[in-house]
Amino acid sequence: MTRLGSGKHVPHWKAYNLALRQRGSLTVYLGDDLDRKWGQPRASGERGRPLVYPEAVIALGLVLQQVYRLPLRQTVGLLRSVLDLAGLRALPVPDPSTLCRRRAGVALPAWPKAGGCVVVDSTGLQIRGPGTWLTTVHGLQRRTYRKIHLGVDPSTSLVVAGVVTSCRKHDCQVLGNVLDVARPQPGTVVIGDGAYDRRMCYAAAKRHCAKLISPPGKRAVLHPGDDWHERNRSIEEARFLGRPDWKVGVGYHRRSLAESAMHRLKAAFGQRLRSRLESNQEHEALLRAHILNQWTTPATTPLA
């Protein structure tokens, strides 16, 4: 989206406000012949009791939990209300333990196809520990969190890749995994902040036939070798043009759209993950990114 100060495009706020109101609409299409499909035992191919609820039922409950920011027990109550409104009071609903146990096994949709540019960044999602007020006032404990690394297409504002790691993983160590998920086309431009100014990041971009744009440090020096070719050129251009003009010339400011995606993710779903198990935390964080792709961003229209 072009900046408002450029005088070229303006957001279509009327359509965007309507889309924001629609996010709170509780309209669920349950399909036909639901009473036969809902609670029939299904063989999972593993030993033990067959699965009572199909995967689509579990996915529906998990999506409702994230959209309305509910604990699992309140999610069960919301599912019960949806069935009651549909006139299907006899159908059972999965209990909280079933939703928690089967969360990690629910398949997520495929990521959108990446375009000619991908901006990458990461943010932390708190999982346990004291809240912000306690850590600010008393500072007795550190909050523990998971990091979600996202790749965003700046032309569509869609999340095209997501990877969840522990808080000890540095951004430069995960760029290769993000590009493996995004599967960029040859010649794709990958934009990241100074945390990606590492040799391993340039090597990962080269392995995917992509071009990495990351601002080199103020004291960066030239290095020999093919892995440093793109970085050496960035250093020389930044020295010749100056860092501000170099950022404008290479389009580095598109990276701010990754920050916007992080803000949208936390504003819509909160800053804390509810799951306790690591596998469930990963699934919960990635599910939020997929739901975010279903919500539109302000479209821009050219000024007359």
Cβ–Cβ under 8 Å, residues 205 and 190: yes
- Which residue in the block uniquely carries the two structure tokens 């939020």? 288
- Where in the chain are all domains bearing CATH 3.30.420? 117-293
Q: What is the CA radius of gyration of the chain?
A: 23
- Which residue in the block uniquely carries the two structure tokens 């609409």? 25
CATH number at 117-293:
3.30.420
Q: What is the pLDDT of residue 5?
A: 40
Dihedral sign of CA atoms 280, 142, 200, 236 in order: positive
Q: What is the pLDDT of residue 137?
A: 74
Q: What is the pLDDT of residue 7?
A: 46
Torsion of CA 36, 38, 41, 43, to 10 degrees: 110
Please state the separation of Cα 147 from the chain's center in Å: 11
Nearest Cα to 282, choosing from 128, 142, 125, 152?
125
Nearest Cα to 39, choosing from 86, 107, 95?
95
Q: What is the pLDDT of residue 18?
A: 81
Angle, vertex CA 238, rays to CA 155 and CA 204, nearest 5:
55
Torsion of CA 262, 116, 181, 103, to 10 degrees: 50
The CA–CA distances, whole Å, from 5 to 1, 2, 200, 220, 252 equal: 12, 8, 37, 33, 18
Nearest Cα to 28, choosing from 98, 100, 69, 78?
78
Q: What is the pLDDT along the chain (304 residues), one digit of tens a residue?
A: 334 444 455 567 777 788 778 777 777 777 777 777 776 666 666 676 666 888 888 999 999 999 999 999 999 999 999 888 888 888 889 999 999 999 999 999 999 999 899 999 999 999 876 666 666 777 666 668 899 999 999 988 899 999 999 988 999 999 999 999 999 999 999 999 999 999 899 999 999 999 999 999 888 888 887 778 888 899 999 889 998 999 999 999 999 989 999 999 999 999 999 998 999 999 999 999 999 998 877 665 555 5
Nearest Cα to 103, choosing from 150, 149, 57?
57
Q: What is the pLDDT of residue 174?
A: 96
Please give the model's pTM, rounded to 2 decimal places: 0.85
Cβ–Cβ under 8 Å, residues 176 and 198: no
Q: What is the pLDDT of residue 2?
A: 37
